[in-house]
Chains A and B, each alone.
Chain A
């Protein structure tokens, strides 16, 4: 990582803390922790569900919140007149939000590994959370470009959840099942995230679905960043300067 990107990531993490988003994140992790602590029977299903939710919906919300704070203070205009490149600015948000989310997820995982003796493959869960969060943060950055306020962003996240998250959860809970749903859900990034997160838990059977989901998130993430998120950033940032 170049030094300027490192400075930007550090700055983003500092602001996440200063604007109380880290506190919110820890609080949410604690609430989930308490909820899961009293849930003995379906812990194996619910813990991955919480991790998926944190890495997908919550990632979009956090990066949306950060960008709306920036919008309200027009600070992005100042960033535009520094030697920082647009790609460094976007990447710093993605990296900082991913690390931030990893921290919250790590809290939950650690507590459950110690208290509930849950067996998790650490390298696999770390890769899965990092990848899923990075993808959804990038998506959140793109969604924030087109929203005037945070309420608008929340509405979009709700729609996004309804369309993509609910089917994925219903499938996880076996409410919907079968090969057709399995095939349809393969192109759902939340399902892809869920698939690779589940792989870190015991009794997961590695099939083509894991490798497809892993590749899907990587390829779609890179293409989305290169062809949508980065090219649109300049327009978004210029609008924040009052144009």
Chain B
């Protein structure tokens, strides 16, 4: 659906490129994530893809057509949610949404959308009175009001409490289930891990690794089983190699004879893998 080839970009006031020749493809119906620390080039890449930033080098195509050939009808088929809440604060939530709704040919049902994010009750409140979480939820409504084919979400759960973050993640999954495609940029590992079909690790404008979270865990994770059992009022931890675990007599014996408290696979987190691959922490920079 989106194909990015040899993308390079330099801000006019910078001496060097902030995006250094990246290639990736987003398939239709996929949730694709860009994971990286602040300043890695995630938002810049997104701004290029949504045609806010021009003068890039390389090629980007959307549905087989170069994005530079698209006019403003490009925005009829995409929805964008910026990291920061962006609304007219002295207008009500409904006034904000209705204003933007009229600018599109396709219109979603606002009531359903606002109810889904729990804002329908507050539709007549001034947005200036909203909490940050409410404003972010309104951002999502705004991004979805033209029933887009593709969603661009910049740090979508940043600033949301766990309950609202869960609602938002469910909405993203529902959007994908209905055939939508999503591009997410985030520095929050759990968002990417829970939502994305594929993820690219980006640092200093370069993609260091790209695959599904599962494959990355298999590729870089530690293949082990950790067992905790109780003996003489003490918790004892034992680690077994994952390979041929079913034939490991010591492991089987332990399961049969000991008072087991926990069993976990020694799965490495995406954040650990990110650090291992890039040498940079997600909260760095």
Identify which of B52, B73, B76 contacts A238 (C-beta below 8 A). Answer: B52
Question: In whole angstroms, how far apart are the Cα atoms of A80 and B102 in the complex?
Answer: 15
Identify which of A7, A15, A77, A82 contacts B88 (C-beta below 8 A). Answer: A15
Stretch among B79-87, B189-197, B228-236 lining the A interface: B79-87
A73 with B87: CB separation less than 8 A: yes
Q: Tell me the B64-87 residues at the A interface (CB within 8 Å).
A: 72-76, 78, 80, 82, 84, 86-87
Identify which of B11, B52, B53 contacts A81 (C-beta below 8 A). Answer: B52
Q: Is the interface of A mostly helix, strand, loop or mixed?
A: helix
Q: Tell me the B181-206 residues at the A interface (CB within 8 Å).
A: none
A84 with B72: CB separation less than 8 A: yes
Question: In whole angstroms, how far apart are the Cα atoms of A9 and B90 in the complex?
Answer: 17
**Interfacial chain A residues near B104, Cβ < 8 Å:** 82-83
- Chain A nearest CB from B173 CB (Å) reads 23
Task: Determine whether A85 belongs to the interface, using a CB cutoff of 8 Å to chain B.
Answer: yes
Closest 8 CB pairs of A and B: A81-B80, A83-B72, A18-B90, A83-B75, A78-B86, A82-B103, A7-B102, A74-B86
- Can you list 27 contacts pairing A with B, beta carbon distance less than 8 Å? A4-B103, A7-B102, A14-B91, A14-B95, A15-B88, A15-B90, A18-B90, A19-B90, A73-B87, A73-B88, A74-B84, A74-B86, A75-B88, A77-B52, A78-B82, A80-B52, A81-B80, A83-B75, A84-B72, A238-B47, A238-B52, A238-B53, A241-B47, A241-B52, A241-B82, A242-B43, A243-B52
Interface size bracket, B side? 20 to 34
B142 with A84: CB separation less than 8 A: no
**A237 to B, closest residue via Cβ:** B52
**Interfacial chain B residues near A19, Cβ < 8 Å:** 90
Given A82-B75, A242-B43, 8 other A-B residues pairs in contact with their CB atoms under 8 A: A18-B88, A74-B86, A78-B82, A78-B86, A80-B52, A81-B52, A242-B84, A243-B47
- Chain A nearest CB from B82 CB (Å) reads 6
- Chain A nearest CB from B229 CB (Å) reads 53
